[in-house]
């Protein structure tokens, strides 16, 4: 009896080609795998969650396992392991083991610690600085050059750039506004929830919205971005969660990777990563319109110098 054909995935049905960053037998660095699993874990079904926990809690043991032993330890079918790994861009169980082994071999602490009550100020400084440095390294690995270029092209072609950010993202949004203004781009930032939705309602085609939100689910920025999108704006989002509600309204998603922990739920590491993405965008935009940017920088610097006398 012939087997019933397997239903295509939603992306396949839509005719969408899903780009692969890694080839068969390859996997991201373990720091990226770990951050991805930490973010996805609350949304996973029991089987995938057990596999994620096994990788997160016992990575050194996983290095010495066969795929059959891993499946048995996680209580899942052998065939389910490959499917789970592929969904998080790991193409082969051996690739996972190699990624973990390289992390250990390079001296990377693959079990990053949260702050503990007995930590002294030196311990705290070590952990905070380490987390910030790791956020930068992981974010660079997660950012694809093609996606960055898409964001640069949208912003460079915008008649007007509207920036949204609230709470801890407000300072990042304000910095983006200042930096873009200095290179001569017409831009405005809103960090008040009422002004956000008012400006969004008046958005028109030709505007590009740049929204910063680590969680991607903050109600104020989510509402303003949705309204602007419906009004015809293009949207660039900087967020830590690719599948967040905010990302659904984005034309381009720039993903940051930063771990927020029990005592650092609005950790500076996420803002450091976001600010670095802003730095990259501004530098690329300045170079893409070099003469205009230099003229604008000179004019704005001359005006600022007047305030320093």
The per-residue pLDDT of the chain, averaged, comes to 83
Q: Where are the domains of the chain?
A: 21-112, 141-306
Asked if the model's pLDDT at residue 285 lies above 90, the reply is yes
* DSSP conformation letters of 155-183: HHT-SEEEEE--GGGHHHHHHHHHHHHHT
Cα–Cα dist 244/255, whole Å: 11
Looking at residue 260, its pLDDT comes to 56
Asked if the model's pLDDT at residue 98 lies above 70, the reply is yes
Looking at residue 284, its pLDDT comes to 95
Cα–Cα dist 165/37, whole Å: 26
pLDDT cut 70: percent of the chain above it:
84
**Which has the minimum average pLDDT: 88-92, 113-117, 283-287?**
113-117
Strands (E) in 221-275, as ranges, are: 234-239, 252-255
Q: 161-204, pLDDT tens digit by residue?
A: 999 999 989 999 999 999 999 999 999 999 999 999 999 999 99
**Which has the minimum average pLDDT: 135-144, 147-156, 173-182?**
135-144
CATH class of the domain defined by 21-112? mainly alpha
Looking at residue 106, its pLDDT comes to 47
What is the CATH number that goes with domain 141-306?
Answer: 3.40.50.10490
Strands (E) in 61-154, as ranges, are: none
Instruction: Indicate the SS3 state at residue 308.
Output: coil
Cα–Cα dist 231/250, whole Å: 13
Supply 126's token pair: 């070590």
* Neighbouring residues of 99: CB distance < 8 A, sequence distance ≥ 6: 27, 28, 29, 30, 33, 90
Residue 31 pLDDT level (bands cut at 50, 70, 90) = confident
Residue 156's nearest CA partner among 289, 294, 22, 20 is: 289
* DSSP conformation letters of 141-162: HH--HHHHHHHHHHHHT-SEEE
Residue 212's nearest CA partner among 181, 178, 240 is: 240
Looking at residue 35, its pLDDT comes to 86
Task: Compute how many other C-beta atoms are within 10 angstroms of the C-beta atom of residue 12.
Answer: 11
Looking at residue 59, its pLDDT comes to 82
Q: How far apart are the first and last CA of the chain?
A: 88
Write the CA distances from 212 to 180, 229, 296, integer angstroms.
Answer: 15, 15, 25
């Amino acid at each position: 009896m012939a087997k019933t054909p397997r239903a295509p995935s939603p992306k396949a049905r839509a005719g969408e080609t899903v780009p692969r960053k890694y080839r068969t037998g390859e996997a991201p660095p373990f720091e990226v795998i770990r951050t991805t699993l930490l973010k996805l874990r609350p949304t996973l079904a029991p089987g995938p969650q057990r596999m994620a926990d096994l990788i997160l809690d016992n990575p050194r043991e996983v290095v010495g396992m066969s795929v059959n032993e891993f499946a048995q330890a996680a209580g899942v079918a052998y065939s389910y392991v490959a499917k789970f790994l592929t969904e998080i861009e790991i193409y082969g169980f051996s690739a996972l083991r190699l990624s973990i082994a390289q992390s250990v071999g390079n001296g990377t602490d693959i079990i990053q610690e949260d702050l503990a009550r007995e930590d002294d100020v030196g311990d705290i400084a070590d952990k905070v600085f380490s987390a910030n440095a790791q956020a930068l390294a992981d974010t660079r690995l997660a950012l694809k050059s093609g996606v960055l270029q898409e964001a640069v092209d949208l912003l460079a072609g915008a008649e007007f750039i509207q920036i949204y950010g609230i709470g801890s993202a407000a300072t990042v949004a304000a910095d983006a506004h200042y930096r873009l203004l200095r290179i001569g781009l017409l831009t405005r930032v809103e960090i008040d929830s009422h002004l956000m939705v008012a400006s969004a309602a008046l958005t028109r085609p030709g505007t590009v919205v740049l929204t910063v939100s680590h969680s991607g689910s903050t109600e104020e920025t989510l509402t303003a971005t949705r309204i602007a999108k419906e009004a015809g704006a293009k949207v660039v989002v900087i967020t830590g969660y690719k599948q967040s509600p905010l990302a659904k309204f984005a034309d381009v998603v720039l993903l940051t990777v930063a771990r927020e922990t029990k005592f650092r739920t609005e950790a500076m590491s996420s803002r450091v990563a976001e600010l670095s993405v802003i730095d990259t965008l501004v530098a690329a935009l300045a170079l893409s319109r070099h003469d205009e940017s230099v003229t604008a920088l000179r004019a704005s610097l001359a005006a600022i110098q007047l305030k320093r006398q």
